[in-house]
Amino acid sequence: MSLPTILIGLVGALALSVVAGIALGPVTVPLPDVLRFLGKALTGGAIRADEVTDYAIVWNVRTPRVLLAAVVGAGLSAVGVAVQALVRNALADPFVLGISSGASVGATAVVVFGLFAGLGVLALSAAAFLGALGATVLVYLAARSRSGLTPLRLVLTGVALAYAFQAAMSVLVFLSPNGQAAQTVLFWLLGSLGSASWESLPLCTAGVVIAIVLLLRRGTALDVLSMGDETAASLGTDAVALRRWLFLLTAVVTGLLVAVSGAIGFVGLVLPHVVRMLVGSGHRRVLAVAPLAGAVFLIWVDLLARTLVPPEELPLGVITALVGVPVFLYVMRSRGYAFGGK
């Protein structure tokens, strides 16, 4: 299929997925009512008194959650493409640099000790984002050298510090007087959109949109960077400066995403490879398709998490792993597939 055909198909699938994600759940709202409630909310129309509960479910609970799932899925997929180009590693994903582990320390501190309690429901997200920024600074300072940020140093430093952050998080949980702290932290680590709200959407959405636009503009440079530093230098691209810029961009966006959803694995690892099978290895083509594919994918993952074992919710990371592992193995075994192309 041509790229325009794929894009049109994914846009249509995204629209249908958003409507399905809002309509379906432990309490199913009929599709005509969903469309009518959305229209009333957008135009300021009135609803009947007996529809208040369904309207609140549709507009106040499910709509921000489904939209946040789309934003997070798009962001993780785009950042996954960027990180794989940054470190030239087919196994890289948005969390390989230790950013999510730093965010986990901040979130754990909120759960265990009640830090930032004055921020109310935003306390967890604020602490997680600050933890991610702190991890970014530490990884950058530890990985940089006279020759700049090299892929191997970035990966090794990120993995090593991730273990250190995980150890710190374990100590916090172990010392916690709250017996439910471990369960709460574990659920957050595996990813959840249960705290989604309209307040959490604007900043995250703006960060993801800006990142995708910037990455698309540098698509050709990413193609060159994937060929190696020597090739990049011969083609007039400053690989050191580009890698530094990519590291900062992916770290900030990853911090924003982890702060609102926890650490959702496999989306940023698997989706870029699946998209490369469809459209080839050119980064502009991949970055045009991957965010849409990631948005559709995570909407359905979140829907499964809400409906498989009602009234309980499954962590998103459990479902992405169950789906992502066989898909990834299939991609790796597909005839003619190699990282970066067919």
**Taking 50 as the threshold, does the pLDDT of residue 286 lie above it?**
yes
Instruction: Provide the residue ranges of all domains of the chain, joining segments of one domain with +.
Output: 3-333
Correct CATH for 3-333 of 3.40.50.620, 1.10.10.10, 1.10.3470.10, 3.90.1150.10: 1.10.3470.10
What span, in angstroms and rounded, lies between the C-alpha atoms of 306 and 286?
Answer: 30
What span, in angstroms and rounded, lies between the C-alpha atoms of 42 and 39?
Answer: 5
Burial grade of 1 (CB within 10 A; 0-12, 13-18, 19 or more)? exposed
* Residue whose C-alpha is closest to residue 98's, from 145, 68, 149, 142: 142
Question: Mean pLDDT, to the nearest integer, of 105-132?
Answer: 78
**Taking 50 as the threshold, does the pLDDT of residue 304 lie above it?**
yes
What span, in angstroms and rounded, lies between the C-alpha atoms of 112 and 130?
Answer: 16
Residue type, 222: L
* Residue whose C-alpha is closest to residue 321's, from 253, 269, 258: 269
pLDDT digits (tens, 9 = 90+) for 231-259: 777 777 888 888 889 999 998 899 889 88
**Percentage of the residues of the chain whose pLDDT score is greater than 70:** 94
**Taking 60 as the threshold, does the pLDDT of residue 10 lie above it?**
yes
Q: Which pair of tokens denotes residue 15?
A: 């629209």
**Taking 80 as the threshold, does the pLDDT of residue 182 lie above it?**
no
pLDDT confidence of residue 234: 79
Query: Residue 145 forms beta bridges with which residues?
Result: 148
pLDDT confidence of residue 144: 84
Q: pTM higher than 0.75, yes or no? A: yes
What span, in angstroms and rounded, lies between the C-alpha atoms of 226 and 72?
Answer: 25
Task: Identify the band that residue 118 occupies on the pLDDT scale cut at 50, 70 and 90.
Answer: low
For residue 329, CA distances in Å to 322, 325, 333, 338 come to 12, 6, 6, 13
pLDDT confidence of residue 297: 96
Question: Mean pLDDT, to the nearest integer, of 163-171?
Answer: 89
The SS3 of residue 238 is: coil
What kind and span of H or E run contains 43? Answer: helix 31-43
Task: Identify the band that residue 342 occupies on the pLDDT scale cut at 50, 70 and 90.
Answer: very low
